C-alpha cells in the first residue's frame, strides 16, 4: 500500500514550474521555504520532472516507475496462482494414482 502524499499534486506542479520558468534559477532551499515545502522534496520533484522531460538519464521516468510497479504486482499475482495450481496438481495426481495408498 502506498503512503498518502504529504503535498498536493497542484503544489508539486506549481513548484516545479516556478523553478523551471525562473531565470536565473532560484536557490532550491529559498524557493522551498517560500512555498512551505521541504527542500529535498522540491529537489526530488525537479529531478523527476527533468527525467520525465528526457533531460536526465540517471533516474527512471514516472511512466517507467508506474509500469514497474504494475508488473511487480502482476508477477506476485501470477506466482500466487502458480502455487495454487501446483498444490491442486499434486492433490489430483495423488487422487488418480492407484498405486499410492490412502492414509
User: Is pTM beyond 0.85 here?
Assistant: no
DSSP string, 23-69: SSPPPHHHHHHHHTS-HHHHHHHHHHHHHHTTS--SS--HHHHHHHH
Please determine, looking at this structure, whether the domain spanning 1-59 carries the CATH number 2.102.10.10.
Answer: no
Each domain of the chain, given as residue ranges in start order, spans 1-59, 61-98
One digit per residue, the tens of pLDDT, for the chain of length 103 reads: 667 788 999 999 999 999 999 889 889 999 999 999 999 999 999 999 999 999 999 999 999 999 999 999 999 999 999 999 999 999 988 888 767 655 5
Amino acid at each position: 500500500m502506498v503512503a498518502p502524499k504529504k503535498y498536493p499534486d497542484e503544489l508539486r506542479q506549481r513548484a516545479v514550474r516556478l523553478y523551471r520558468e525562473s531565470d536565473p534559477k532560484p536557490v532550491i532551499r529559498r524557493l522551498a521555504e517560500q512555498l512551505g515545502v521541504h527542500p529535498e522534496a522540491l529537489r526530488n520533484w525537479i529531478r523527476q520532472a527533468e527525467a520525465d522531460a528526457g533531460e536526465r538519464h540517471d533516474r527512471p521516468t514516472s511512466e517507467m516507475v508506474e509500469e514497474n510497479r504494475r508488473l511487480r504486482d502482476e508477477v506476485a499475482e501470477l506466482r500466487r496462482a502458480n502455487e495454487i495450481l501446483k498444490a491442486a496438481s499434486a492433490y489430483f495426481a495423488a487422487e488418480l494414482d492407484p498405486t499410492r495408498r490412502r492414509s
